[in-house]
Structure 1
């Protein structure tokens, strides 16, 4: 059976010990095992990173950018291989896997501009003969803990900016689909990244805790469930580290009566069921405003669901594939059961779906629930599967309130032709990322990604200019060059710029 090992100092490193199973979601069987590190191996990786980071930080930004540019080319050259490998462990269809990689690649492209991004500020003549300037410097060794649902995109979001800024990076990818992160690390070394600057250490809670506690790791970036995001944030902060920890979501799509229904239905179906709903930016809740809007939208959604195809990852006609594990499938089914028990109307039931020839795979067909109410636990919590809930609202204000009051504040979308309503919505809704007729409002790479409330812990978002700020610290220099023969002005008070 294939063994997935660690990647330290530019080499594959195997350490006998605990193993985790990596499944093939399409057939429901173990296809590989991943080594789960002990703390001693993390210590080794950090020591390598700390040593390698000194020379990497001293490398000028242009040369670091050239490495990122070469890395970009290698990702593009190996796109098909990476997508197929990703799909085999996650279950995504290959086209969706390519999208996963592409959105990460866009952040690599952003990181290629790091010489400009690292420029500081300069003030000449802030006082008599005094100039003030600031410089951005890397933190040292930083770490990223990434989830199963985007095994390429999120490691690239974190590592590209961190490395371009001159840091060394420790990556702890999800143990459910760990092969692509290792392959990306190999490509980075091939692109010219010095050995030891990026190390991949597989593990479970043991390594997560060790990363949070390690004195030589200066910052931790995390994406996962909200409870664990909060845990990592609190533990890392208690150890004196910077932390940006992105959590769960329950994104709402609000549909006004004037919306372009053809486009809206297509957008909602893709956002709710794409990637089997295993996206923190999925759209699992739709809020039609007004009874007529709700009835028409429901009818159109049912028609659209009937045309969706669930299939294996290599099926080019499939809209999405299986969920990641049998355990996760059972969890999703449990939420559907719960919603029915709570009084929701089960309009389309996807629990009994079976794909011929792949009966043991972790497949779920689309599920649609109507008349869901805010007091239901199935609405309050993140399901993270191909389940769409309809929550009806009588007014626009009520719809805004639903999204604003939810414990998660990750993303939200409004479907309308009314510019005034859209402007009011964007200003008032208490959510971090807003889409106007855009169902999955993930900001482009030169902006930043991050939600509010229990969707994001920490002051700075992922990638973009916030990413540069997170992975650097600013040094402020106030300088004076006295002229020869000047009189020494001895002062015992705080100097001013008079």
Structure 2
């Protein structure tokens, strides 16, 4: 067994080499081995890092858009070159298979590409002669120091939803990644320094609730971006706003997939397995409830079972389809939901608790699991399980399925599978969910649209990335001006350049 690596904070572009009063362990979920010892930040250290970021922000905010975009382009190139190694870090600490980890990095890369267009994205408006000899124009300016608190399930992609846009808009960032799998986020943060970002604009503090509370309370932190479970998202939103901060807190989900009788059931079964068991179900956009409109439930369930029988669960580096869960405690929690589903009367069609896993004996494995005849009063339907447990709910009609979905307290993502364009159009209008897929099981928007749900899946008014992200990380200003006729002098025949 190798000696665990010390995992440090990243402050002003350099690893923090002070002595940590508290630490936590980082595991390889496929083996159960402790691979890292993580420094946990105190409230005092968080304050020091925020002070460092604030000093760096003053200069960065005054840096021209031309120079900012040059840094963004350089970062994008570096991340693209390092995406395989960063994906390997994700697999080593989170457990998802390498192909899935690489896909995560690639989706994060798309947000960096979007942010490269920041000169265009920050263009204001101009009205000449709004009043006689009076012009009116608008601009957007940076906030200052912004905090990003990211979850374990997407250690690279979720930070990338926020950080490129925040930096491009002229802010300084303090990232608090998940203490379960921080190394990918730290590696990405190091690339910003290599890309030419001034020291102190990008910082990483590792920690737990103490670090989170310190960021939420610090007066120089102007905004907080958070992704995680709904109870914590609500806490972050309420605490952050109570301290006068702008907060976007993306919470949990219970995503449904409504399958109409006219749907292509082979396509629907493929989608249910892909969206239900990818990343071992540890996705806020995972499908966890298949809502089958009768009379197709029996046939659809059998097709899902056939596909589940071909899945191989094990070490994410060994070409498996599904990896382990992130920790032993989380694996046991998800397994407890399987027990609860049986006790509550659901039909356990496929039991993943005692499968044949291709990984270490102490790995945190749970195979793909399928329930049928699930009802809305069961805990496996009510709660966000965040694991490879798929529930089938049978309904008698489209209207009954829509009513079930709209009654759910979550509103993150939803999908409908049908060959009826009229039904799909009706559904996209009537469903009370923020992100909708039509024959698409995981409707995560592309980077130039914005990500975010409704109801208990989002606290705050602004979604992630896209133009909503640009607006979140900037403040608007409108100028009304009137001038006497100016005079200009000087001769310069050179072609004008941006600097």
Partner residue in 2 for 1:219: 223
The alignment partner of 2:25 has SS state of strand
Aligned to 1:131, which of 131, 135, 147? 135
Task: Pick one of 382, 388, 391 that aligns with 1:389.
Answer: 391
Query: In structure 2, how many angstroms separate the alpha carbons of the residues matched to 1:106 and 1:357?
Result: 32
The answer to whether 1:233 aligns with 2:237 is yes
Q: Structure 1 residue 69 and structure 2 residue 73: aligned?
A: yes
- Tell me, in whole angstroms, the C-alpha distance in 2 between the residues paired with 1:195 and 1:320: 39
How far apart in 1 are the matches of 2:329 and 2:263?
38
Superposed displacement of residue 66, structure 1: 1.2
Match of 1:331 in 2: 333
In structure 1, the residue matched to 2:300 is 297
CA apart distance, 1:260? 1.3
Two-structure CA RMSD over aligned residues (Å): 1.1
| Corresponding residue SS for 2:249 | strand
Please tell me whether the aligned partners of residues 312 and 357 of structure 2 are also in contact (alpha carbons under 8 angstroms). Answer: no
Query: Corresponding residue for 2:167?
Result: 163
**Deviation readout 1:103-160 (Å, 9 max, x if unpaired):** 1000000000000000111111111221111100000100100000000001111101
- Residue aligning to 1:120: 124
Q: Tell me the CA shift for residue 33 of structure 1.
A: 0.8
CA distance in 1, matches of 2:307, 2:183: 35
Contact 1:26 1:358 in 2 (8 A): yes
Q: Is the aligned partner of 1:195 residue 2:203?
A: no
Q: Which residue in the other structure is 1:185 paired with?
A: 189
Q: Which residue of 2 aligns with 1:490?
A: none
Residue 346 of structure 2 is aligned with which of 344, 347, 352? 344
The partner residue of 1:111 within 115, 125, 136 is 115
Which sits farther off after the overlay, 53-62 or 148-157? 53-62
Match of 1:209 in 2: 213
Whether contact under 8 Å (2:314, 2:358) holds in the other structure is no
Q: Provide the residue aligned with 1:278 in structure 2.
A: 282
Q: Identify the match of residue 272 of structure 2 among 244, 268, 274.
A: 268
User: Which of the numbers 479, 482, 489 marks the counterpart of 2:481?
Assistant: 479
How far apart in 1 are the matches of 2:190 and 2:359?
35
CA distance in 2, matches of 1:263, 1:106: 27
Structure 2: unaligned runs, 5 residues or longer: 487-499
Bigger mean CA offset, 268-277 vs 396-405: 396-405
For 1:489, the equivalent position in structure 2 comes to none
> Residue in 1 aligned with 2:490?
none
Offset of residue 262 of structure 1: 1.6
Q: Using the alignment, how far apart are the partners of 1:2 and 1:120 within structure 2? A: 48
Deviation, structure 1 residue 204: 0.3
The match for 2:415 is 413
How big is the shift at 1:209? 0.6
Change (3 A) 1:110 1:28: same
Q: For 1:385 and 1:68, how far apart are their aligned partners in 2?
A: 35
User: Secondary structure of the equivalent of 1:55?
Assistant: helix
Q: Distance in 1 between matches of 2:20 and 2:238?
A: 32
Structure 2 length normalisation: TM-score?
A: 0.95
Give the whole-Å Cα distance in 2 for the aligned partners of 1:483 and 1:120: 24
Deviation at 1:63, TM superposition (A): 1.3
Residue pair 1:410, 1:431 contacting (<8 A) in 2 also: yes
Question: Which range is displaced more, 414-423 or 76-85?
Answer: 76-85
**Aligned match of 2:461:** 459
Residue of structure 2 aligned with 1:95, choices 99, 106, 129:
99
Aligned partner of 2:375 in structure 1 is: 373
CA distance in 2, matches of 1:474, 1:294: 52
Change (3 A) 1:356 1:474: closer
Residue number in structure 1 paired with 2:6? 3
Within 1, Cα distance between the matches of 2:236 and 2:331? Answer: 26
CA shift for structure 1 position 30: 1.2
Q: TM-score scaled by structure 1?
A: 0.95
The corresponding residue for 2:54 is 50
Runs of 4+ in 1 over 3 A off after TM superposition: none
Structure 1 SS opposite 2:422: helix
Q: Provide the secondary structure at the position in 2 that maps to 1:194.
A: coil
* Partner deviation per Cα, 1:345-366 (whole Å, 9 max, x = no partner): 1110001124255221011111
- Structure 2: how far apart are the matches of 1:483 and 1:92? 65
CA distance in 2, matches of 1:7, 1:40: 15
Give, in whole Å, the separation in 2 of the partners of 1:323 and 1:357: 12
* 1:360 correspondence with 2:358: no
* Paired residues of 2:146 and 2:173 also in contact (CA < 8 A): yes
In the TM superposition, 1:232-251 aligns within 5 A as 232-251=236-255
CA distance in 2, matches of 1:269, 1:354: 19
Specify every segment of 5 or more residues in structure 1 that has no aligned partner in the other structure, as ranges: 485-498
Seen in structure 2, the aligned counterparts of structure 1 residues 171 and 357 have a Cα distance that, compared at 3 Å, is closer
Distance in 2 (alpha carbons) for counterparts of 1:133 and 1:86: 45
Other structure's SS at 1:391 match:
strand
Count of matched residue pairs:
482
Q: Look up the SS of the partner of 1:220 in the other structure.
A: strand
